[in-house]
A and B are shown apart, each in its own frame.
Chain A
Amino acid sequence: MLFAKKKKKIDGDKHYVSLANIVGETAILYKKEDLVSYDCDGFTIHKSMPKAVVFPKSTEEVAAAVKYCAENKIPFLARGAGTGLSGGAIPLNGEVIISLAKMKQLLSVDFENRQAVVQPGFVNLKLTNSIANKGYYYAPDPSSQYVCTIGGNVAENAGGAHCLKYGVTTNHILGLEVVLSNGEIIEISENGIPDAPGYDLLGLLTGSEGTLGIVTKITVRILKNPEGKQTVLAYFDKAEDGSHAVSDIISAGIVPAALEMMDKTAIEGVEAGTYPVGHPRDIEALLLIEVDGVAAGIDEQIEEILKVCKQRNVREVKVAESEEERGKWWANRKTGFGAMGAISPDYLVQDGVIPRSRLPKVLQNISEISKESGLRIANIFHAGDGNLHPLILFDSRIPGETEKAVKAGTACLKACADVGGSITGEHGVGIEKIEEMRFIFTDEELEAQTKIREVFNPENLLNKGKLFPTPSRCMDVKKVIKEAAAN
């Protein structure tokens, strides 16, 4: 804006003034135009305006803001980078959003004990970048790692391409500082000593989708870089061959660091995006496979992988010749979701998990769902984990298409649940899959879990309406399930 800024004066509601007193006048947003950016996260199908957004700079400020909200019965929730794909950070009830974006420091690194302490707004990839020169890295690598926060990762128990071998976020969290829903600050496993006696509160908090408390400090495990690393790219004419190759590789006793798959539509998207590799457009599937570890064993594993691919009629298979080439393949894969924007105005990404051996069948089902709904579905996913990501492509400007997409998404999840799988691998339930929880849990199981929430969040002011269905919506869901079952 041209010329000097005039100091803002808080006007309106008394709560704005009080919250501004806690976090500072420049650390609160409350005007409509500023709030619009916070009406959704990476899940855009549902939008709702927050009451305000505050940007605390310390645990104490978070605690004070939470306490104020609790005392005044104002609903509130935490937000990291807002890349969540299930709507976890959407202010359904006009919440005050507590943004952790200003708490983004790397507090300490202890190479000897292989741990690092970060603030919740610290960006995932920055951790690896900050310790890479010493030969260390942080393993969980969601594709959104360029921007998503470690706090958000803890809340969603985020996974990533390399979690096949190294495990998801929960396997890398050693300690947490949490602000409870009444403003009290607690430390869990203060010195990062794992497996403390008593209940596994770390495990409970990780993946609780911001409904049990606000994480304000995280102690994570860091790993030494593997000695060697090799990456393979394999193109298959038939999707089925690709799927079988996935199972065969694991059956051969290899645990790749990553084992990713993309189908034809997905390839069309990534090739139209910002990081094209030059994949052929007429193949039905590609696999991106990475093995790492002690240098000696790697060549053997690569041989084995090449063999399996050939047995499964691979059209072309190659090993990355340079770090640069490897980087290109991964950039292409990791920006895959966003790249769908280049071939479709909107997408809805689903996140189901299935036993690996059922991959060919479920991919077949998804293709049928696509035909029935008339919407294109791209698959780009962590095949090694059996963690599917069907991306349903649609145009929200066309009346009725959004509803169709949501329905197709539900049908995809149903297909996963039907083969004994789950409705979320890593993106969480949020508001998106709340009703689908009933695909895998009975009413009693859901109630038992809600009781746990009540211990931490008795007034249900913190991130209300997420993760568990409310009984009133029960009827609608049963209808959906019936419909899905009938189809």
Chain B
Amino acid sequence: MAVTEKELQAKPEPSCASTSLSNYLWDDHPDENKWADCVHCGMCLESCPTYLETGQEQHSPRGRVHLIKSVAEGKLEVNEQFMDPVFQCLDCRACTTACPADVDVGGLIEEARGQVRQAMPLTGWKGTVSNFFLKDLFPHQNRLNMLGGLLKFYQKSGLQNVARKTGAMKVMPEHLVQMEAIMPELKKPVQKRYKDVDVIPAKGEPKARVSMLTGCIMDVMFSDINQATINVLTHNNNEVVLPKNQTCCGALHVHAGDRETGKKLAKQNIEAFKDADKVVVNAAGCGCALKEYPELFRNDLEWKEKAEEFSKKVEDISKYLYDTGYEKPKSPINKKITYHDACHLAHGQGVRHEPRQLLKDIPGVEYVEQPNADTCCGSAGIYNITNPEMAGAVLERKMENVPDDVEMISMGNPGCMLQMAVGVQKYGRREEIVHTVQLLDWAYQEDEKNGIGKSSAQQTIATGKE
């Protein structure tokens, strides 16, 4: 946690003192109206993973709101001690669901982080590393692809085996070692695969045209999920467009307090999807970020309006399928499966029922509900890298809730998939981690193999809204 003397001295002059609020000296400060809703009732306490872990109020939603308010009231300053609770927050939004007064704790925390990062920019090696990821890597698809290529080489060339055997891993921080161990096998990004295709055709008579967010790291690490999403969409008679100039959603930047880069990326995406009617997303964290673009531009009327229009078009893949109808597969997947609610799907977008229904509609699936399915797994963007101890503790609680005898854990967010895979590995378990659309895709593939044609299946299109 510690911030060095040097970092504190590096505190820059406030850039825009005219819009400051008491001890928040920078532009875009936390929004008074958000904490005015909080009546300090404490009903959010037990929903908060960091409070459950520490039992300390400054690490609870109520405490964080109170802290953020206290700076505005001039009782506290933006300093190291303030930073700790604000950055320990997982941004999991469980408190938003629990709060009877609908207080936007997540939004307040992101705004507070913006202030912290301007008051105390990360310098030294921390700054370099953080800048590398957030500024030099994620926003640049070609660089990510290159890194993907290197990783693929690492996996294929046998270097991975060498590294694991020689103990080169021992010098890496524990969590990165765990991550390395569960790294998915990398395939070709869909953006590359469909480079020359403007519209991926629907399998049957097209009923709609949707645009898809392919994601930054998603398309490199999880291109097979992107492919599965395309398959499932086209199978259900949707044409799919992958806008070329789309970019990283900016969620990680906003979470880290770099709201300026967040806004830049947001603008690029709003432009990239200008012509889309629907923006389908298969990563809950990204989807939630896109939906919250208006919040980023709350002080910029022109862009706020554009962002509002854009965010209305954004939909999670499971909800899109549920709302527009999908074919129920015929071929069974005989597995016992449980579902984990990604925070940014359940708490962030209110999507809980739809993905469960998708799973239940696959023949052969024995669906098992897990207790506390909607508590955070500790992934939370790059939280598991920045706060490994807390992330580990939260993960342990999560894994305790996974029923002993399931074979698969399904979910709708790649970040969670990595974290849960770490959990499975760390606690010597055997569950397979899958994305909900992958299961549907596999079932459709089985149908095709078994010669169950689309034409006969057409009649059984389920509209989830029955």
List A residues at the B interface (Cβ < 8 Å).
Answer: 1-6, 29, 31-34, 36-38, 40-42, 44, 53, 55, 81-83, 99, 101-102, 104, 121, 123, 144, 146-148, 273-275, 335-342, 345-347, 397
Nearest-Cβ distance from residue A31 to partner chain B, whole angstroms: 5
CB <8 Å contact, B63 and A342: no
Could you tell me the distance between the alpha carbons of A342 and B70 in the complex, rounded to whole angstroms?
21
CB <8 Å contact, B126 and A36: no
Contact for B39 among A104, A148, A341, CB less than 8 A: A341
Could you tell me the distance between the alpha carbons of A229 and B218 in the complex, rounded to whole angstroms?
50
Could you tell me the distance between the alpha carbons of A102 and B70 in the complex, rounded to whole angstroms?
26
Could you tell me the distance between the alpha carbons of A121 and B36 in the complex, rounded to whole angstroms?
29
CB <8 Å contact, B46 and A341: no
CB <8 Å contact, B386 and A144: no
Question: Counting CB contacts under 8 A, is B305 at the interface?
Answer: no
A32: chain B residues within 8 A (beta carbon): 76, 81
Contact for A146 among B2, B67, B98, CB less than 8 A: B98
Known: A32-B76, A147-B44, A274-B97. 15 other contacts (CB 8 A): A2-B122, A3-B1, A36-B75, A38-B57, A53-B56, A55-B55, A81-B45, A82-B57, A146-B46, A146-B98, A147-B43, A274-B102, A338-B39, A340-B39, A341-B102
Give me the 4 closest cross-chain CB pairs, A-B, nearest first. Answer: A341-B101, A338-B100, A101-B55, A335-B100
CB <8 Å contact, A345 and B84: no
Known: A147-B45, A147-B46. A1 touches B101 (CB 8 A): no
CB <8 Å contact, B99 and A338: yes
Nearest-Cβ distance from residue A209 to partner chain B, whole angstroms: 18
CB <8 Å contact, A342 and B386: no
CB <8 Å contact, A341 and B100: yes
Known: A32-B81, A37-B62, A101-B55. A274 touches B101 (CB 8 A): yes
Could you say which of A40, A55, A339, A347 has the most chain B C-beta atoms within 10 Å of its C-beta? A339
29 A-B Cβ contacts within 8 A? A1-B83, A1-B84, A2-B126, A5-B389, A29-B56, A31-B81, A33-B67, A33-B85, A34-B58, A34-B81, A34-B85, A36-B70, A37-B62, A40-B40, A42-B40, A42-B42, A81-B42, A81-B45, A83-B43, A102-B55, A104-B55, A147-B44, A274-B100, A336-B100, A337-B41, A338-B39, A339-B101, A341-B39, A341-B41
Could you tell me the distance between the alpha carbons of A275 and B103 in the complex, rounded to whole angstroms?
13
Known: A147-B43, A273-B101. A37 touches B55 (CB 8 A): no
B70: chain A residues within 8 A (beta carbon): 36
CB <8 Å contact, B63 and A37: yes
Question: Counting CB contacts under 8 A, is B324 at the interface?
Answer: no
Known: A3-B126, A274-B102. A33 touches B42 (CB 8 A): no
CB <8 Å contact, A345 and B37: yes
CB <8 Å contact, A147 and B101: no
B57: chain A residues within 8 A (beta carbon): 37-38, 82
A338: chain B residues within 8 A (beta carbon): 39, 41, 43, 99-101
B56: chain A residues within 8 A (beta carbon): 29, 34, 37, 53, 55, 99, 101
CB <8 Å contact, A36 and B1: no
CB <8 Å contact, B98 and A341: no
Nearest-Cβ distance from residue B122 to partner chain A, whole angstroms: 6
Could you tell me the distance between the alpha carbons of A372 and B270 in the complex, rounded to whole angstroms?
52
Nearest-Cβ distance from residue B61 to partner chain A, whole angstroms: 11
Could you tell me the distance between the alpha carbons of A197 and B262 in the complex, rounded to whole angstroms?
70
B40: chain A residues within 8 A (beta carbon): 40-42, 44
A40: chain B residues within 8 A (beta carbon): 40
Question: Counting CB contacts under 8 A, is B142 at the interface?
Answer: no
Nearest B residue to A36 via CB reads B70
Could you say which of A121, A336, A346 has the most chain B C-beta atoms within 10 Å of its C-beta? A346
Known: A33-B79, A144-B43, A340-B39. A6 touches B100 (CB 8 A): no
Contact for B46 among A29, A123, A339, A340, CB less than 8 A: A123
B88: chain A residues within 8 A (beta carbon): 1
Could you tell me the distance between the alpha carbons of A63 and B73 in the complex, rounded to whole angstroms?
37
CB <8 Å contact, A2 and B39: no
Nearest-Cβ distance from residue B74 to partner chain A, whole angstroms: 12
Nearest-Cβ distance from residue B273 to partner chain A, whole angstroms: 30
Could you tell me the distance between the alpha carbons of A41 and B39 in the complex, rounded to whole angstroms?
10
B102: chain A residues within 8 A (beta carbon): 273-274, 341-342
Nearest A residue to B86 via CB reads A1
Nearest-Cβ distance from residue A141 to partner chain B, whole angstroms: 14
A29: chain B residues within 8 A (beta carbon): 56, 58
Could you tell me the distance between the alpha carbons of A55 and B58 in the complex, rounded to whole angstroms?
13
Known: A3-B126, A5-B1. A33 touches B82 (CB 8 A): yes
Question: Counting CB contacts under 8 A, is B182 at the interface?
Answer: no
B85: chain A residues within 8 A (beta carbon): 33-34
CB <8 Å contact, B101 and A2: no
Nearest B residue to A337 via CB reads B41
CB <8 Å contact, B97 and A341: no
A1: chain B residues within 8 A (beta carbon): 1, 83-84, 87-88, 386-387
Could you tell me the distance between the alpha carbons of A338 and B40 in the complex, rounded to whole angstroms?
8
Nearest-Cβ distance from residue B327 to partner chain A, whole angstroms: 29
A34: chain B residues within 8 A (beta carbon): 56, 58, 81, 85
CB <8 Å contact, A6 and B1: yes
Could you say which of B56, B79, B85, B102 has the most chain A C-beta atoms within 10 Å of its C-beta? B56
Could you tell me the distance between the alpha carbons of A83 and B1 in the complex, rounded to whole angstroms?
30
Could you tell me the distance between the alpha carbons of A340 and B38 in the complex, rounded to whole angstroms?
9
Chain B residues numbered 75-134 whose CB sits less than 8 Å from any CB in chain A? 75-76, 79, 81-85, 87-88, 97-103, 122, 126, 130
Nearest-Cβ distance from residue B261 to partner chain A, whole angstroms: 16
Could you tell me the distance between the alpha carbons of A274 and B41 in the complex, rounded to whole angstroms?
14
Could you tell me the distance between the alpha carbons of A33 and B81 in the complex, rounded to whole angstroms?
6
Could you tell me the distance between the alpha carbons of A414 and B46 in the complex, rounded to whole angstroms?
36
B1: chain A residues within 8 A (beta carbon): 1, 3-6
Could you tell me the distance between the alpha carbons of A40 and B39 in the complex, rounded to whole angstroms?
12
Nearest B residue to A53 via CB reads B56
Known: A33-B79, A33-B82. A340 touches B101 (CB 8 A): yes
Nearest A residue to B76 via CB reads A33
Nearest A residue to B87 via CB reads A1
A335: chain B residues within 8 A (beta carbon): 43, 100
Could you tell me the distance between the alpha carbons of A102 and B84 in the complex, rounded to whole angstroms?
20
Question: Counting CB contacts under 8 A, is B60 at the interface?
Answer: yes
Nearest-Cβ distance from residue B41 to partner chain A, whole angstroms: 4
Question: Counting CB contacts under 8 A, is B454 at the interface?
Answer: no
Contact for A347 among B36, B39, B97, CB less than 8 A: B39
A146: chain B residues within 8 A (beta carbon): 43, 46, 98
Known: A1-B87, A341-B37. A147 touches B58 (CB 8 A): no
Nearest-Cβ distance from residue B406 to partner chain A, whole angstroms: 19
Contact with A along B1-41 (1 / 0, CB 8 A): 11000000000000000000000000000000000111111
Known: A29-B58, A37-B60, A101-B56. A345 touches B41 (CB 8 A): no
Could you tell me the distance between the alpha carbons of A337 and B99 in the complex, rounded to whole angstroms?
11
Known: A1-B387, A83-B41, A104-B55. A36 touches B101 (CB 8 A): no
Nearest A residue to B38 via CB reads A341
Nearest-Cβ distance from residue B118 to partner chain A, whole angstroms: 15
Nearest-Cβ distance from residue B126 to partner chain A, whole angstroms: 6
Nearest-Cβ distance from residue A313 to partner chain B, whole angstroms: 31
B306: chain A residues within 8 A (beta carbon): none
Question: Counting CB contacts under 8 A, is B66 at the interface?
Answer: yes
A33: chain B residues within 8 A (beta carbon): 58, 67, 76, 79, 81-82, 85
B130: chain A residues within 8 A (beta carbon): 2
Nearest-Cβ distance from residue A37 to partner chain B, whole angstroms: 4
Known: A1-B87, A2-B126. A342 touches B42 (CB 8 A): no
Nearest-Cβ distance from residue A18 to partner chain B, whole angstroms: 20
A123: chain B residues within 8 A (beta carbon): 46
Known: A33-B67, A121-B55, A335-B100. A342 touches B41 (CB 8 A): no
A83: chain B residues within 8 A (beta carbon): 41-43
CB <8 Å contact, A36 and B43: no
Could you tell me the distance between the alpha carbons of A4 and B102 in the complex, rounded to whole angstroms?
33
Nearest-Cβ distance from residue A52 to partner chain B, whole angstroms: 12
B101: chain A residues within 8 A (beta carbon): 273-274, 338-342
